[in-house]
Amino acid sequence: MELALVQSNAKLYLPEPARIVKVRNFTEHEKFFQIELLRKGSLGHDPGQFVEVSILGIGEAPISIASPPDSGNRFDLCARAVGDVTKKLFTFKKNDLIYIRGPFGHGFDDKIFQRMRGKHLLFIAGGIGYFPLRSLINQVIPNAKNYKKISILYGCKTSQDRMFPDELKKIHHLSVGSNVELLETLDHPEADWTGNVGVITTLIPKIDFDPAETIAIIVGPPIMYKFVLTSLMDKHMPKENIYMSLERRMKCGVGKCGHCQMEGVYVCQKGPVFNYADVEHNEELF
C-alpha cells in the first residue's frame, strides 16, 4: 500500500475552544450538551464521526457527534460519566468552555449515503448507542422520502435509560401514516410500559424487511453486536449491507498513538463506522 505522506500539521494536537450553550440531564450518568464553536463556520462533520473533547488539566476523550451536519457553528454531544474527563464534563454548566479537536474518523460519508438512497434503513441501537446514531437518524428522518422505509429499533435496560425521550415520542407520533417506524424494547420494564419486553434481537422478527434492499446500522454495547449480527445473518442479510460503529480505547484520534489498533485496523481512522464485510475476519474487532 502507498502511504499518503503529508506535511506537518501544526494544529494536530491543538484543541480549539468551544462554549457549552445548553445542558440537559437524561439520567444520573448521562447528559446532553450543545456546544458552540467560538469561531464562525461549522464543524464540518459527517454523521458517525467523533471529536476529541479536552478539559484542561484533566484530559481528552473521544465523544461522538450526536447532531446531523449543519451550516451553523453548533453541534451536540452526549456523555456518560465513567472516568476523569466525562465526570468532569458532568460538572460543567452553560457558558463553560471546553476544547475540541476534530472531527475525526470515518463516518457515514457520501459513498454510504449513495448506497442508502432508496433503501430500507434499519437502525438498531442499544442504550447509549443512540448517541452516535442520533446524528444519522436526525439527518434521514426529515428526508424520509429518499428512503424506502426507516425502521428504528431501540433497546434499553429500563425506561429511565431511554435517551432523548421527547424525541422518541416525536418519532412515535410521526410514524403514523409515514414510512418511519420506531420499535422499542426494555430488558427490565416498569409496570406502565406498554412496549416490547426483552433483548433487542426480539424486535427483529417484528419488522418486515427485504434483506437485499435493506441497510442495517448498528450501535450498542460490545456484546450486543454478536447477537444482532447472528439474527441478521439468519435473515440472510448481505454483509455489505450492514454498517456499525465500533469503539475502542483512543488517545490521539489521528492514527498515531496505537491504542485503537485492532489487528491492522486503526479504529480512529477506518472507523468508528465500519462495513461488516470489510472487517468480519478481524478477530480483535469481534
Partner 1 sequence: MSKKPKVAFFDFTGCEGCQLCAVDLTPEQLFDLLALVDIVEFREVMTDKAESYDIAFIEGSISRKPDEEKIKDIRARSKLLVTLGACSTIAGVNALRNFYPDDKLLHLVYPGHPEIDRTTIARGVSEVVKVDAMIPGCPIDTHEFLRVVKDLLLGKKPEIPTYPVCVECKMNENTCVYEKGIHCLGPVIRAGCNAICPSNGGYCFGCRGAIPKANIESMKEILQKYNLSAADALDKFKLFLERDKEIFPDDKN
Partner 2 sequence: MLLKTTKTALLKGIDQVLSTYQVAALTKQDSRVLYNYVKTSHDIFWGCRPTVLPPKKFFFPPHETLLDYTADGQIIAKIESKPLVLFGIHPCDLRGIQILDEAFADLHGDPNYLERREKAIIIGLDCHQTCDQDSFCYKVGAHYAKTGYDIMLYPLKDDQYLVEVATDRGNVFAEQFLRAIKGEEKELEEYQQAKAKAFESLKPFKDLEKFPELFQENTHHPVWEHEGARCLSCGSCVMVCPTCYCFNVTDDWELNMRAGKRQRHWDACMLHDFTTVATGENFRPTATARLHHRINRKFNYLMKKHGQSVCVGCGRCVRACLADISPKTIAEAINGEDEKEWN
Ligand X SMILES: Cc1cc2nc3c(=O)[nH]c(=O)nc-3n(C[C@H](O)[C@H](O)[C@H](O)COP(=O)(O)OP(=O)(O)OC[C@H]3O[C@@H](n4cnc5c(N)ncnc54)[C@H](O)[C@@H]3O)c2cc1C
Asked whether position 219 contacts ligand X by CB under 6 A, the answer is no
Rg (CA), the chain: 19
* 28 C-beta neighbours (distance < 10 Å), count: 9
Asked whether position 249 contacts partner 1 by CB under 8 A, the answer is no
Classified as helix, coil or strand, 242 is strand
Asked whether position 194 contacts partner 1 by CB under 8 A, the answer is no
| Choices 132-140, 178-186, 193-201, 260-268; region in contact with ligand FES by CB under 6 A | 260-268
Count residues binding partner 1 (CB under 8 A): 7
Q: Dump the DSSP string for 67-87.
A: S---SSSEEEEEEE--SHHHH
Q: Given candidates 18, 43, 51, 85, which one binds ligand X under the rule CB under 6 A? A: 85
Measured distance CA(15)–CA(264) in Å, rounded: 28
**96 or 213, CB closer to partner 1?**
96
HSE-CB at 221 with a 13 A cutoff on CA atoms is 10
Quote the Cα angle for 251-255-256, to 5°.
Answer: 70
CB of residue 123 to partner 2, shortest distance in Å: 23
Instruction: State the pairing for strand pair 16-25/30-37.
Output: antiparallel
Under rule CB under 8 A, which residues in 96-115 are in contact with partner 2? 97, 99
Cβ–Cβ < 8 Å for 106, 134: no
Count residues binding ligand X (CB under 6 A): 23
Asked whether position 246 contacts ligand FES by CB under 6 A, the answer is no
**122 or 250, CB closer to partner 2?**
250
Q: Which residue has the cell 500539521?
A: 9
Residues binding partner 1 (CB under 8 A): 57-58, 83-84, 87-88, 91
Residues binding partner 2 (CB under 8 A): 1, 3-15, 17, 54-60, 82-83, 86, 97, 99, 222, 247-249, 251-252, 254-259, 261-264, 269, 283-284
